[in-house]
Structure 1
Amino acid sequence: MSATSSVPAPPGARRALPAMLILVAGCVIALITFGPRSVFGLFLLPMSQEFGWGRDVFGLAVALQNLLWGLGSPFAGAIADRFGTVRVMCCGALLYAAGLVLMSYATTPGMLHLTAGIMVGFGLSAASFNLVLAAFGKLLPDQWKSIGFGAATAAGSFGQFLFPPLSRALMDTIGWHETLIVFGAALLIVMPFSLALATRGVAAAKPGAAAAAPQQGIGAAIGEALRHPSYVMLVLGFFTCGFQLAFITVHMPAFLVDNGVSLSVGAYTLALIGLFNILGSLTAGYLSSRVSRKWLLAWIYAGRGVAIAAFVLLPITPLSCYVFGAAMGFLWLSTVPPTSGLVMLMFGTRYMAMLYGFAFFSHQVGGFLGVWLGGMLYVATGSYSWVWWLSVALSFASAAINLPIKERPVVRVPVAA
């Protein structure tokens, strides 16, 4: 495929940008927005120790962040589908940045929940890779779409690889307060890069029968999706992904400290997850256009169950942490390309941001419960064991629930003239 290929625009539409420029801009946005939120676990201990909070206080803040990120995603997606991506992303980036900066001044649980939870959560819903994926579905040529989904996910993964050691270095030199301010300033980079993802005036691609439908309103699109069994199963399976990712991201560093492993090992483990997730996301993006997406998802979820069970059963050492980070990283966000690809296959691209947003809401409800239960059960039992084994059980449940999915466009009957 040519690096200069672009989507043909109908008469009167704005001129399409080169596909490579769109791809690079979207990947930069995914990297910048995913990086800071992936290192929140590194702030759990210093903030809790400085202010005398239990882990449940910080855990609830990040749980709220995950829930509101998911809750806001369908609405942000619907607005972007109707009015374009740029304004939504700019507003989201400003809210996300303000949340991080004000979090550095949070001295009470309520202020922490407002900043790290509500502001960052809603900011992420309007400025993260869920909107990037939807924009790619509309702007990239057909031959670029699957690899674009994988590349955007991999870019977010690179943010997770880059930000943990960067966070540790900044926290050791300028302190955790100032580190949050630096990250808030970095998020402003999103605003100029979002211009390349402008979707107003761009004709949606038509990947199959799903696009040959009569004109739909938002309500009809939502109703159609929620009545479609394969979409419902896809959404339910995505719950597990959020549960596991949020729990590990937030509680893994503290879990390792509890087991006699340094916080630096926790940071490097998160970095390894990000590094290997680049390979896993690109591989999943490549395979999504070549093999059955539902089987790909089933194998990913089952693989996670095996990796988590092995990690919990074996002695916790720096080596076992790094091996777990590499294995889990390969499977980390590799669910995103086949999941977003199935949404596009089933319903087309017109309401992709909104419909993927509903799937992502399920993901973030899982994230809310993973972080919240991690903190609550730790306070109640002094251990994370229950949550680790619940993660294993959910892995195999999600592997099973994806198998009945039918991989074909929804059948629509044209309205009679």
Structure 2
Amino acid sequence: MTFSSPAAPHQPPSTRGLFINGLGLGQLCSWGSLYYSFPLIAQAMSADLGWSKAELYGAATLGLGLAGLAAYPVGVAIDRGYGRAVMTGGSLAAGLLLVLWAHIESLALFYVAVAGIGAMQAATLYDPAFAVVARKAGPAHARAGITALTMWGGFASTVFIPLIQLLLDHVGWRDTLIILGAINIVVCGAVNFATIDTVADAPVRRPAGEGAPKERSAIADAIRQPAFWALAVAFTAYAAMFSGFTFHAYPLLIERGFDTATVVGAIAMIGPAQVTGRLAVWLFAPRTPVRLLGSVIVAVFPLAFLALELMPPDFTLVALFALGFGAVNGIITIVRGLVVPELITRRAYGAVNGALAVPATVSRALAPAGLAMLWTASGSYDAVLMAIIAGSLVLAAGFWTAAALAGAGPED
């Protein structure tokens, strides 16, 4: 006998209830402690240990690559009813790895800790949480819950970057990592354990081999659709564009003549703007088809980066860019969470979404280093910004192609 999942009660979860708010708190803390913490901790480590940026960021690239490899099996496990175990276990493991990181003295052990934390992101960040919501509500009813989760996660940088900087200033990077580890164990682990429905997620006995063929059938059906591959291209380009710009925004803007205070102020606006964009969708476009919402949003990215390329170093202009970029980036996260059930298939959400995430996660890992090499080769950030604009055009073309190819949407 094997285990598979019972049919979850397909009722939209309340966006004000324990389930969504508990998962949302976990997302806020997971994103803040596992993703946004790295550049700040790495800078402090470099000053303390004398390790180069290439050595430090190589570990982050490895970790994100492992997250990409883990995305599909994590999605399958959640489809089979192990969401509680996956997300709780991921948070506990991430917390222990952060504590291990706090005690490292060698580069090899640092790579073990950071690579492990990167892999745990596949079990703790948006994609597994979206899959848990889709399993509870049914993919066709998951929109409100997924939107609410992204609003919680949108505050992660706003809350955690100042908090981490405060901790670094007062207790140093090692104790900061221990505190972040405790947050993952005590907060993230606890809320994931308490809020994911044990009964709905419990695996049940059914004839041996029945579960896996159904998942494989859903994946096989998905990858036979040209729209799946168009979306894979679109979101791989998006991941590279977003990751590359996130890691290089500060030096890029400085090189283009903006002063430090202006750059810091503009970057600080992106997080709240993401939440504002998601809130606007929740309030004013709760039932807008994803193909329409996404088709409009992807057009904004190349226009925004082209405006950045042409603008003079003026605070008002760069602030408008940051607000616009943040808003559309927040909305594209919602589109990413809903596009599988609305354009591809409503079966095996976790597995199909995980398969779609694999190339995107790898590109997210490689883009910062790739753009750094492009900067070294070209001698300026002009070429880097051109590459980002090209990525945004690929995103738009890929999504528009998928929307056209998907027809009326999935029938299953």
Aligned residue in 1 for 2:25: 28
Asked if the contact 1:247/1:371 (under 8 Å) is kept, the reply is yes
Relative to structure 1, the CA distance from residue 264 to residue 171 in structure 2 (aligned partners, 3 Å threshold; closer, same or farther) is: farther
Distance 1:292 1:53 in 2: 48
My pick for the range that moved more, 20-29 or 191-200, is 191-200
Distance 1:159 1:376 in 2: 29
Q: Structure 1 residue 356 and structure 2 residue 339: aligned? A: no
Give the drift of 1:82: 1.0
Give the drift of 1:313: 3.5
Aligned residue in 2 for 1:89: 87
Tell me the amino acid that sits aligned with residue 170 of structure 2: T
Give the drift of 1:317: 6.0
Distance 1:108 1:184 in 2: 20
Relative to structure 1, the CA distance from residue 307 to residue 106 in structure 2 (aligned partners, 3 Å threshold; closer, same or farther) is: farther
Aligned residue in 1 for 2:200: 201
Asked if the contact 2:67/2:118 (under 8 Å) is kept, the reply is yes
My pick for the range that moved more, 332-341 or 373-382, is 373-382
Distance 1:85 1:324 in 2: 38
Asked if the contact 2:345/2:411 (under 8 Å) is kept, the reply is no
Instruction: String of CA shifts for 1:353-386, please: whole Å, max 9, x gaps.
Output: 1211122223212211212213333454554433
Asked if the contact 1:59/1:375 (under 8 Å) is kept, the reply is no
Give the drift of 1:264: 7.2
Give the drift of 1:136: 1.4
Q: Structure 1 residue 158 and structure 2 residue 155: aligned? A: yes
Relative to structure 1, the CA distance from residue 128 to residue 330 in structure 2 (aligned partners, 3 Å threshold; closer, same or farther) is: same
Instruction: String of CA shifts for 1:197-230, please: whole Å, max 9, x gaps.
Output: 2365369xxxxxxxxxx99522222211111111
Give the drift of 1:301: 2.4
Tell me the amino acid that sits aligned with residue 54 of structure 2: D
My pick for the range that moved more, 348-357 or 126-135, is 348-357
Aligned residue in 2 for 1:125: 122
Tell me the amino acid that sits aligned with residue 386 of structure 1: A
Relative to structure 1, the CA distance from residue 409 to residue 104 in structure 2 (aligned partners, 3 Å threshold; closer, same or farther) is: same
- Residue in structure 2 matching 1:140, options 137, 140, 147: 137
Asked if the contact 1:85/1:131 (under 8 Å) is kept, the reply is yes
Distance 2:264 2:106 in 1: 26
Give the drift of 1:101: 2.8
Instruction: String of CA shifts for 1:210-267, please: whole Å, max 9, x gaps.
Output: xxxx995222222111111112211211112211222233333454566687777666
Distance 1:317 1:173 in 2: 34
More helix by share: 2
Aligned residue in 2 for 1:3: none
Instruction: String of CA shifts for 1:250-297, please: whole Å, max 9, x gaps.
Output: 333454566687777666544421111111123345676533423322
Relative to structure 1, the CA distance from residue 142 to residue 48 in structure 2 (aligned partners, 3 Å threshold; closer, same or farther) is: closer
- After superposition, residues 223-234 of structure 1 pair within 5 angstroms as 223-234=220-231
Instruction: String of CA shifts for 1:166-191, please: whole Å, max 9, x gaps.
Output: 22222222223322222221112122
Instruction: String of CA shifts for 1:384-406, please: whole Å, max 9, x gaps.
Output: 43332211111112112212322
Distance 1:285 1:161 in 2: 20
Aligned residue in 1 for 2:322: 325
Aligned residue in 2 for 1:51: 49
Aligned residue in 2 for 1:377: 374
Distance 1:218 1:142 in 2: 15
Unaligned 5+ residue runs, structure 1?
1-9, 204-213, 413-417
Distance 2:369 2:189 in 1: 32
Asked if the contact 1:164/1:270 (under 8 Å) is kept, the reply is no
Normalised TM-score (structure 1):
0.82
Secondary structure of 2:401's aligned partner = coil
Cα root mean square deviation, aligned: 3.4
Asked if the contact 2:11/2:138 (under 8 Å) is kept, the reply is no
Asked if the contact 2:228/2:344 (under 8 Å) is kept, the reply is no
Distance 2:381 2:99 in 1: 30
Asked if the contact 1:25/1:193 (under 8 Å) is kept, the reply is yes
Distance 1:361 1:107 in 2: 32
Secondary structure of 2:142's aligned partner = helix
Asked if the contact 2:12/2:137 (under 8 Å) is kept, the reply is no
Asked if the contact 1:146/1:288 (under 8 Å) is kept, the reply is no
Instruction: String of CA shifts for 1:312-365, please: whole Å, max 9, x gaps.
Output: 443446655544332221122321222322212345554111211122223212
Secondary structure of 1:291's aligned partner = coil
- Residue in structure 1 matching 2:165, options 163, 168, 171: 168
Normalised TM-score (structure 2):
0.83
Distance 2:259 2:168 in 1: 15
Tell me the amino acid that sits aligned with residue 52 of structure 1: G
Tell me the amino acid that sits aligned with residue 101 of structure 1: V
Secondary structure of 2:129's aligned partner = helix
Question: What is the identity percentage for the equivalent residue pairs of Structure 1 and Structure 2?
Answer: 23
